[in-house]
Amino acid sequence: MKIGIVCYPTFGGSGVVATELGLELSKRGHEIHFITYSQPVRLELLSNNVHFHEVHVPEYPLFLYQPYELALSSKLVDMVKLHGLQLLHVHYAIPHAYAAYMAQQMLYDEGIIVPIVTTLHGTDITLVGSHPFYKPAVAFSINKSDAVTSVSESLKKDTMRLFDIKKDIHVVPNFIDLEKHLHNFTDCQREMMADDEERIVTHISNMREVKQIPDVIKIFYNIQKELPAKLMMVGEGPEKEGAERMVEELGIKDKVVFFGNSHEIDRILCFSDLFLLPSQTESFGLAALEAMASSVPVISSNTGGLPEVNEDGYSGYLSDVNDVNEMSANAIHILKDPEVLNTFKANAKAQSQKFDLHSVVPMYERIYEETLEKLSVIN
Ligand code: GMT
């Protein structure tokens, strides 16, 4: 199949899922065309089967806001025609599903039929999409998509609750390439980060308000009062500066490392003992899954899709949002006793196997096939 993938090319989870999906589909023989404003961060290798087409938005002084949707829909039209793309898979409703629908209509006028599969990732529904400024356009784009997927049951429910949706929504969870998390490194370089007796606690995110960064710091503060520990803070975002200040005020600066955005997530997870994800809301929690695949148990909030990913008392623990005391106590329970820690590590790994890309990616393939079949019956 020749598939166009539209996504945000940044460090966010939706872009990571879209990129990993495209790469795996290409290995399975499909021709993949990424269409976005810059090369996706995890897309290192382009090949015969993997192409990248940049969307340019020319600057024009009359416009206060440059019209990205317009440039994207025109690019989609051109790429479908030039490369004979059979299907467009757009990740994140805003504005991708909307731009794809416009492209579809333009192509239809020329007698070209190309179906759209839209994947909802979370913030496009729960945080941004349901804002009254966007809501009608988001509902319209979802309803006009030929197939719609969401990354968890919880996000499907939220979408049905927040919008008037007339489409069936298929749940296709985030997935993980377990081979990439085999840790073939001969040396995790743990000793560069911490002493032998210190536990390593990690948080990875784009450090926005929704990630509850102050809670990450508070939980770690409580942990380090009970046992020797270090905190690895990975990612960039608006909450990072506040976190750096808080760490200084609490007097734990020498125990916290801020990495910024990293291409070496698997190396960092390799030496981690515990992952913290106390988010306000999380449609799935890809970062938690990546941690578990590296045998790192997870302390998370009990919100959104997280209970579908992290099993309470098995791969880690779930607590109410902002229940820092319970999260700290659970973290200390896991970290204090080496035997308990090893059990949770093994469980985390086992739990991640439920989201193996070899079982999840075929779910998308089936949706593509069904969508194409349905369209050929209709036309
Ligand atoms: O929250 C992020 O870190 C980025 C965000 C995005 O839109 O790229 O992630 C969302 O999509 C991921 C991939 O499907 C999910 O695993 C994340 O849970 C989801 N984030 C939220 O719901 C806050």
pLDDT digits (tens, 9 = 90+) for 223-256: 999 999 999 999 999 999 999 999 999 999 999 9
- Output the residue whose Cα is nearest ligand 1's atom 12: 13
State which ligand 1 atom lies nearest to the alpha carbon of 283. 22
The average pLDDT across 41-60 equals 85
Indicate whether 181 pLDDT > 90. Answer: no
Cα of 126 to ligand 1 centre, how many Å? 10
pLDDT of residue 4: 98
CA dihedral (347, 352, 353, 355) positive or negative: positive
Protein fold of 2-175+357-378: Rossmann fold (3.40.50)
Which CATH number describes the domain made up of 178-355?
Answer: 3.40.50.2000
Angstrom distance (rounded) from CA 47 to CA 43: 11
Q: E strands within 197-243?
A: 199-204, 229-234
Please give the full DSSP string across 175-197, using - where no structure is assigned: -B-GGGGS---S---GGGTS-TT
Phi, psi of 357 (to 5 degrees): -60, -25
Q: Is the CB of residue 285 below 6 angstroms from any atom belonging to ligand 1?
A: yes
Share the mean pLDDT of the chain. Answer: 93
What is the percent of the chain with per-residue pLDDT over 90, rounded to a whole number? 80
pLDDT for 347-365, tens place per residue? 999 999 999 999 999 999 9
Cα of 60 to ligand 1 centre, how many Å? 32
Cα of 191 to ligand 1 centre, how many Å? 32
Listed residue (264, 267, 198, 260) closest to 231, CA to CA: 198
Q: Is the CB of residue 13 below 6 angstroms from any atom belonging to ligand 1?
A: yes
Pocket test for ligand 1, best of 124, 150, 283 (most atoms within 8 A of CB): 283
Indicate whether 15 pLDDT > 60. Answer: yes
pLDDT for 58-109, tens place per residue? 888 888 888 999 999 999 999 999 999 999 999 998 899 999 999 999 999 9
Cα of 56 to ligand 1 centre, how many Å? 25
The average pLDDT across 128-156 equals 91
Indicate whether 317 pLDDT > 70. Answer: yes
Would 2-175+357-378 and 178-355 be classified into the same CATH topology? yes
The average pLDDT across 266-281 equals 95
pLDDT of residue 334: 98
Indicate whether 288 pLDDT > 90. Answer: yes
Domain chopping of the chain, boundaries: 2-175+357-378, 178-355
pLDDT of residue 40: 85
Cα of 285 to ligand 1 centre, how many Å? 6
pLDDT of residue 203: 98
Of residues 46 and 169, more confidence is placed in: 169
Listed residue (321, 312, 320) closest to 344, CA to CA: 312
pLDDT of residue 106: 98
Q: Is the CB of residue 123 below 6 angstroms from any atom belonging to ligand 1?
A: yes
Indicate whether 42 pLDDT > 90. Answer: no
State which ligand 1 atom lies nearest to the alpha carbon of 124. 7
Q: Is the CB of residue 282 below 6 angstroms from any atom belonging to ligand 1?
A: yes
Cα of 28 to ligand 1 centre, how many Å? 26
pLDDT of residue 124: 79
pLDDT classification of 379: cutoffs 50, 70, 90: low
Cα of 110 to ligand 1 centre, how many Å? 36
